[in-house]
Structure 1
Amino acid sequence: MAVLKADAAERLPPGLAGPGLVPSNEAMHELSIAEAILQQVDEVVRQSGQAGRVTRVELSIGVLSGVCVDSVRFALGLLTEGTELAQTEFRIRQPGAECVCGECGQRTPIDDLVMACPQCGSSEIAIQGGRDLLLESVELEEGRR
């Protein structure tokens, strides 16, 4: 079994995810993201030069990415049905985000964007993490494709 690490975690094309970028038709948004994921998987396998059936794909979709993980899973299922990727396991990690206050120094885990520190109310905050949409690895079953 070969595990292909995407180059420093392959970022999907810009503009596919992020706060404020979710179009009103969420299903189409996640469908295009799933298509981009499958294109990136194909590219990683092709560039590796290795043969084998893709058995697992590991993704990281941050909680603040603006992407509905359940919709991505559904879209991946639709797009891979009847293909050589139909039996592929898609593991999706959802890294969290945190609010870091420049006033009191408090670090608070968050699931949604905030405008003020939950501890002291200061607006001098920075949001760290949770926005990524990454292809982390592709696992191949050697000798089969």
Structure 2
Amino acid sequence: MHETGLSEAIVAAAVRRAAGRHVTGLRVRIGGHAIDPDVVTQGIQVAAAGTVVADAAVDLVLEPMTVRCHRCGRDEPVRDHLAMVACPRCGGVDIEVSGSDDVVLESITLASPAMGAV
């Protein structure tokens, strides 16, 4: 499952950045990927169990790619992978897909020493 690998990679990056300190929040920007945000959030929570990221709040910022059909002029965000192959409105394949497909761990929030951070 795509979301599982994505979630595990996000947690691994957060653990490296935290360097042993307790993480209370993550902000992740996901571009282009047609993903279910609830599945990714749950995947992050599962992957984080037993790590310094366990129980961290997850803030996902989704930036879907856009597809423009040269046949009918449709210009909308991509909602699924099929829209990147053919226009959902007219079935045309003369389409242009734009946007980023990057996944970026934008920030982590660390627990303050008063909260019992290590």
Q: Answer yes or no: same fold by TM over 0.5.
A: yes
Could you state the TM-score of these two structures normalised by the residue count of structure 2?
0.67
Is contact 2:15–2:53 with CA below 8 Å preserved after alignment?
no
> 1:116 and 2:87 equivalent?
yes
Residue 117 (structure 1) shift: 7.6
TM-score between the two structures when normalised by the length of structure 1: 0.57
User: Would the alpha carbon gap of residues 39 and 65 (structure 1) be closer, same or farther in structure 2, given more than 3 Å must change?
Assistant: same
Runs of 5+ unmatched residues, structure 1: 1-25
Q: Is 1:58 the equivalent of 2:27?
A: yes
Q: Distance in 2 between matches of 1:37 and 1:135?
A: 7
Gapped regions of structure 2 (runs ≥ 5): none
Choose from 94, 105, 109 the match for 1:139: 109
Aligned to 1:45: 18
Matching residue of 1:89: 57
Q: How many residues align?
A: 112
Aligned position for 2:67: 99
1:32 aligns with 2:2: no
CA distance, structure 1, for counterparts of residue 69 and residue 3 of structure 2? 32
- What is the root-mean-square deviation in Å for CA atoms of aligned residues? 3.0
Paired with 1:94 and 1:134, the residues of 2 have a C-alpha distance of: 11
Give, as a single letter, the amino acid of the residue that structure 2 aligns with 1:96. P
CA distance in 2, matches of 1:53, 1:88: 9
Asked if 2 retains the 8 angstrom alpha-carbon contact of 1:30 and 1:71, the reply is yes
